[in-house]
Structure 1
């Protein structure tokens, strides 16, 4: 009887499903709510047109407070930043299946059109599924000058539904058609289902993201102890493909030994107790905290270098 009641409670409450957030913009921010585009925009500071960054969160969907917080931190460093939602909000897909990448490209086009933005200095930044999307979109957008992909994937994956309903299609679509994807071959509760699926990648080479087409430098951050998916294996695969295909721009992998899936992003404030969730998908508390403390300033330095003011020669090209 206890097991039955417990099972009913689990299925009714579904505690594994992350809450859908639509974070309020901070004091310097602006809510963008247009057909096909929901996000928070931060124009940054300065009188000149500024480099701009589009930020994507992960499989939690919506517009999470943590994603908005990253946008605010970057805006304080002089970037114009747009953080957008691509699924789980009204008029968006409820599950991560056939999510139109046009939602993301629409955000890029909107960002480039703002008076505060220098449209020739555009970057993308994403985490987890957002990193997968950032690499995919940037490989199709030569105007994206740099990419930061945290806990990334080098392939397009089969979609999923937080309600555990069957999903057989791709995570992403273009023009209403599915982007070729790598199927997940093992479904269960007992850990990483992505590593076994990668063994079949040779049967689905079309699922590989052509990262070599990204015109600018790429920074990939990952935790070696990531238990959600093999982000370091996939980060190195993206780097190796770019190098093998003769990409002219640099590709950097920052891999942290004792960090997991949540070992990426801004460091926690000094003296603040680390939330329990930081070790949910691998790594030690100390390892995840150290990785974030090291990786975030290096992310800022990467973006500042990649989006520096173009020289006269670069502008004429």
Structure 2
């Protein structure tokens, strides 16, 4: 029944709800900002409850594919009948403790949906993500029917700021979307890539542009006329993208940056190593070696580390642990697969979760740093987060320790713990922005 109500509301089109909506006049729920960027903090307050009144707060989101995601937390009103998520601790539900953003952090597929789906914004330019928050009487289990609704409200999460321009690219061989910040510019320019799911992923690029950094969301397979699978890589494609961005009239300075997650991270390391126009690279949960397929550039070929599927473990709940599947890049037999990062003239930032169970990104980052140090380099920053898992996204992104791999079609263990992982997302995001603003002048 709850899903039917939410679905009808979502299908109704543009909504004009006030910032505060109450069911019982005595109880008032507010969420600020009512409409803000997806990387902004929220302030959730409830007033008008009875002293010590137990309540359950729930968040509901319907994604662009019509799937319902929800979260809940148990609170008790203070002596004045108020709950403030910046001050009060959740006593149960999907998280415990004082977590002001916990309702967003813990959003996961509803019990009626397929598990292990990731809540991601795909059409960043078409509409904001709309979240409904409800206050229910009493404490209810996340999978049980909640108590009576005392108050509810809706708010918007924007993935693209007003004035940001989105330009779809078919420039030579390059495909993707260019996001330009508002104003006349010029701006720092960054190429943004993700992992082996393929396709065009825009939510980080749109947020970078919303924070003053022009960003090219760059797919490299499984999109339009690009190769359908990762069989081989040609660095010339990424070089063409870097040349396009560095020559764009809205881009400042004499070089561009690159940010990548997973496979996109080792491509970022290869770009800053071999392409002089790339002067700053952020590697998130990446490897120090070339992975997945051989990388070709002019007369150079870097072979790829291979995966040994016999080392994959499958749990009783059919979750795949692939943390040991990749061949060891530090084995001398695999030295030809290593990316010679010491040749790079630019600056590096490595971001890893120490509980990454997708692969050993913390070990790989330390190996890359050691290689830089051994060659007298100090052009790096390592951010290593205890308790964080694999997919370190912009702030307020829901924590997804297990996610269905879009290529394999099975749930893959990513690791991490909710509070530590989401705090790593908050901390690293601001440092990423500062890094690019500093090194791309």
Please classify the TM superposition score into its range, dividing by the shorter chain length: 0.7 to 0.9
* Residues 266, 293 of structure 1: 8 Å contact kept: yes
1:37-52 aligned within 5 A: 37-52=174-189
**Partner residue, 1:128:** 262
Does residue 1:290 correspond to 2:423, yes or no?
A: yes
Q: Which runs of 5+ in 1 are unaligned?
A: 1-14, 160-169, 309-317
Cα offset, 1:97, TM superposition = 1.9
**Among residues 185, 188, 203, which one is paired with 2:333 in the alignment?**
203
The alpha carbon displacement at 1:154 in A equals 0.3
| 1:237 matches 2:371 | no
Contact 1:96 1:171 in 2 (8 A): no
Q: Is the contact made by 2:188 and 2:440 (CA closer than 8 Å) also made in structure 1? A: yes
Q: In 2, Cα distance between the equivalents of 1:99 and 1:176? A: 13
Q: CA deviation at 1:194?
A: 4.6
> CA deviation digits over 1:30-78, x for unaligned, max 9?
11123421111112234342221111111111112xxx12111211222
- Report the equivalent of 1:5: none
1:251 aligns to 2:380 (yes or no): yes
1:185 positional shift:
4.0
Which residue is equivalent to 2:356?
226
Instruction: State the shift of 1:193 in Å.
Output: 5.0
Please tell me whether the aligned partners of residues 184 and 193 of structure 1 are also in contact (alpha carbons under 8 angstroms): no
Q: 1:183 to 1:274 in 2, by over 3 A?
A: closer
Aligned mate of 2:302, from 175, 179, 188? 179
Contact 1:38-1:85 within 8 A present in 2 as well: yes
Task: Quote the offset at 1:297 in angstroms.
Answer: 0.9
Post-superposition Cα deviations, 1:204-225, rounded to whole Å, max 9, x if no partner, equal 2111101112212210000111
**1:261 paired to 2:390:** yes
Q: 1:217 aligns with which of 325, 339, 347?
A: 347
The count of residues paired between Structure 1 and Structure 2 equals 274
Deviation at 1:24, TM superposition (A): 6.3
Q: Is the 8 A contact 2:205 2:216 kept in 1?
A: yes
Q: 1:138 aligns with which of 260, 272, 275?
A: 272
Take 2:330 and 2:251, find their aligned partners in 1: how far apart are those partners? 43
Instruction: Report the Cα offset of residue 180 of structure 1.
Output: 2.1
Distance 1:266 1:99, change over 3 A: same
- Pair 177,95 (structure 1): closer, same or farther in 2 beyond 3 Å: farther
Point out the structure with max Rg over C-alpha.
Answer: 2
Judge conservation of contact 1:186–1:193 (CA < 8 Å) in 2. Answer: no
SS in 2 for 1:54: strand
**In structure 1, how many angstroms separate the alpha carbons of the residues matched to 2:296 and 2:207?**
31
Deviations, residues 216-258 of structure 1 (Å, cap 9, x unaligned): 22100001111111000001111110111122x4211111110
Pair 1:192-2:322 in alignment: yes
- Between 1:214-223 and 1:40-49, the stretch displaced more is 40-49
Query: In the alignment, what sits opposite 1:7?
Result: none
Question: SS in structure 1 opposite 2:271?
Answer: helix
Q: Judging by fraction of residues, say which structure has more helix.
A: 1
The more displaced of 194-203 and 233-242 is 194-203
User: Could you tell me whether the CA contact under 8 Å between 2:312 and 2:325 is conserved in 1?
Assistant: no
Equivalent-residue separation in structure 1 for 2:323 and 2:356 (angstroms): 12
**Contact 2:257-2:278 at 8 Å conserved across structures:** yes
Tell me by how many angstroms 1:120 deviates. Answer: 0.8
Instruction: Tell me by how many angstroms 1:22 deviates.
Output: 7.6
Q: Is the 8 A contact 1:182 1:201 kept in 2?
A: no
- Match in the other structure for 2:282: 148
List per-residue Cα deviations over 1:69-119 (Å, max 9, x = no partner). 211121122222111100011322222220222221111111112110125
* Aligned-partner SS, 1:183: coil
Partner Cα distance (1:45, 1:152) in 2: 31
Measure the CA separation in 2 of the matches of 1:52 and 1:141. 15
Equivalent residue, structure 2, for 1:162 = none
CA contact (8 A) 1:23 1:63 kept: no
Return 5+ residue gaps in structure 2 as ranges. Answer: 1-114, 126-159, 314-320, 404-411
Aligned partners of 1:69, 1:50: CA distance in 2, in Å?
Answer: 19
TM-score calculated relative to the size of structure 2: 0.57
